[in-house]
């Protein structure tokens, strides 16, 4: 069901079993996948001093993004917004260490713990498909680097979503069960990655390319949700500007050395 995204009714037809039997089997397996014994073994959150190697080993990202812990993906049921999801997560115990941040798309609020792109500025990698196109200012360069960094550290989300299509549908389950499905598919993905790594490579490139081209709205005013104060938003904007201008200075140095 997780792989095909099929409904209970479709599974009844496929396996010739009752709705009750399908439901019981589904939840039995789901409970196993989210149990502490299984989940904690295959899913590990990054430590406070962890910088993704994709960032740490790449001079176009490091040291500018040295305090980045990873990327937050905006996968959700269409009725919710990224900002609302993040607000709920903060209210229910999402703890991001002081001075650390995650990369997030423009649907999330600009705040101390999320580094988001500039709105109204070229962003997606496919928009930079022409090799002759070059960033014209620090904002365009920042958005390009932000997109490249997200692609490097977030690509696993695209693979999980394509592998388990149930995540992309609006499931016929309670919110609690939906949250368990997300946890279960992440754990199951990591399990497969360890014990059948060849399976991960099958079709992975097309999945990653599709995810890179996922459209994120970059027009309109910045979102200042009730959970992000004006002062915090101003700090985040100032931090982003400093990072962007440092990236631009390095970029200009590289261009001068090449000329």
pLDDT recorded at residue 23 = 81
Average pLDDT by consecutive 10-residue portion of the chain (259 residues)? 61 74 87 93 78 91 94 55 63 76 87 92 68 83 92 73 73 77 88 77 51 46 59 96 98 92
| Angle (CA) 62 66 67, round 5° | 160
Per-residue confidence (pLDDT) for residue 142, from 0 to 100: 96
Q: Cα–Cα–Cα angle for 135, 213, 200, nearest 5°?
A: 125
Q: pLDDT value at position 222?
A: 44
Buried b (16+ CB within 10 A) or exposed e, 81-119: ebbebbbeeeeeeeebeeebbbbbbbbbbbbbbbbbbbb
Q: What is the pLDDT of residue 226?
A: 47
pLDDT of residue 164: 82
């Amino acid at each position: 069901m997780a792989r095909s995204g099929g409904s209970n009714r479709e599974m009844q037809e496929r396996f010739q079993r009752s709705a009750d039997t399908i439901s019981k089997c589904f939840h039995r397996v789901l409970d196993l996948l989210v149990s502490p014994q299984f989940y904690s073994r295959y899913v590990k959150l990054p430590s406070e001093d962890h910088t993704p190697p994709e960032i740490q080993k790449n001079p176009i990202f490091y040291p500018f993004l040295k305090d980045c812990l990873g990327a937050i993906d905006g996968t959700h049921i269409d009725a919710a917004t990224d900002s609302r999801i993040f607000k709920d997560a903060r209210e229910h115990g999402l703890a991001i260490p002081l001075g650390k941040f995650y990369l997030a798309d423009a649907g999330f609020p600009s705040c101390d713990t999320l580094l988001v792109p500039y709105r109204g500025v070229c962003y997606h990698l496919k928009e930079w498909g022409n090799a002759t196109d070059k960033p014209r200012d620090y904002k365009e360069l920042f958005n390009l680097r932000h997109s490249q960094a997200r692609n490097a550290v977030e690509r696993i989300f695209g693979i999980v979503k394509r592998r388990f299509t149930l995540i992309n549908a609006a499931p016929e389950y309670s919110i609690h069960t939906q949250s368990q499905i997300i946890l279960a598919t992440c754990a199951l993905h990591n399990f497969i990655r360890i014990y059948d790594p060849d399976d991960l490579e099958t079709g992975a490139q097309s999945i990653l390319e599709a995810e890179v081209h996922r459209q994120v709205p970059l027009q309109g005013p910045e979102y200042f949700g009730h959970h992000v104060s004006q002062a915090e938003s101003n700090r985040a904007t100032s931090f982003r500007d400093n990072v962007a201008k440092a990236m631009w200075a390095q970029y200009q140095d590289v261009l001068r050395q090449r000329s």
